[in-house]
Every structure is written in structure tokens, then in C-alpha cells.
Amino acid sequence: MNSTVNLSFRYLESDYVRALRAHYASRLRLRLDIVVVVAMTAIGIYLWQSPSSRWFGVAFVSIAALFSLMLVAAFAVIPPLVFRREPKFRDEYSLAFSSEGIHFRTAHIDSRLQWSMYSSALVDAHSYVLYYGTRQFTVIPKRVFQSSEQQQAFEQLLRQHVSEIVRRDT
């Protein structure tokens, strides 16, 4: 298959926020984190009621509250702030994906990239998150594809050139 997939779009805040949340969810052990918070809170409340263990109870509840705030910040507060503070997300993006590589253009960038730059991809219900490095990624919103055939051609290129693809389509 030697087709080129051309995409032009501007990011919406929701595009980036959803992708960053998907990134965090794939890197964190959210269910385990929630179980730990609930268990620490329960143990803390139990210990708080005993005069000899009151400080341990206060400590457990405080740590659970701090951990909860960190999770809320990671999923609810940080993603929109990152989007709003980054001027590059306001640019028009023009991307051309082919077997030869990726032509990446914005008002400030005109670059030809090799597929080998991307080490892995996360696919969720709303986007493709293409990773280069441990914390850096390119977000391709699914809404920008003009047809299902164009999206299938992109997925074919992705399967051919990116070795690790994790799907979380639900």
C-alpha cells in the first residue's frame, strides 16, 4: 500500500485534554491508586478513633487526601492548563503520512520525519497518541479523518511502521 494520508486541522481543547487523560490512564495504575486511597482513608478513620493511634489516623487520612488531590489534578486540572498555555496548539496543522515518512507543517514548523521517530502509539476512542520519547507525543484526533477509508489507510501505515500499538478504544 503506497497511499498518502493528508490531514489538516486545528486542535480543539477537548482533543488534547482527552489524549492527555488517556496518556495518564495508560501510565498510571488508576484502579490500584483508587483502592489505595480508599483503604488508607478507611484505616485512617479507624485509627483516628483510638486515642493512642490518633496521629497515625490523621496521617493516613491526610496522605489519602493529598494523593486524591494529585489524581484530580492530573486528570481534571493539568490537561486544560497545558493546552491553554501552549501556543503551538493554536496553529493549523497539515500532516502527510506515507510509507516514506511524515511531512509535518504548521505556521512555525516545516519538517519531514521518519516513522522510526515514533516508538509506540496509544489508540483510544477519540485519538491516536504517537509517542516519541517517554513523555512526548503527537496527538492525531480521530475527528480529523475525512472518511473511514482514510482512517483505515492511516491505521495500516501505523501498523507497518510503529512496533508497539496499545488499544484502549472503549
- Rounded to a whole number, what is the distance in angstroms from the first to the last CA of the chain? 28
Beta bridge partners of 129: 122, 139
Q: Per the structure block, which three cell numbers stand in for 167?
A: 488499544
Yes or no: say if 158 and 98 are a contact pair by the CB < 8 Å rule: no
Cell 511524515, residue? Answer: 102
pLDDT digits (tens, 9 = 90+) for 34-83: 999 999 999 999 999 988 999 999 999 999 999 999 999 989 999 999 99
- Kindly report the pTM of this predicted structure: 0.83
CB 34 within 8 A of CB 25: no
Cell 516513522 -> residue? 115
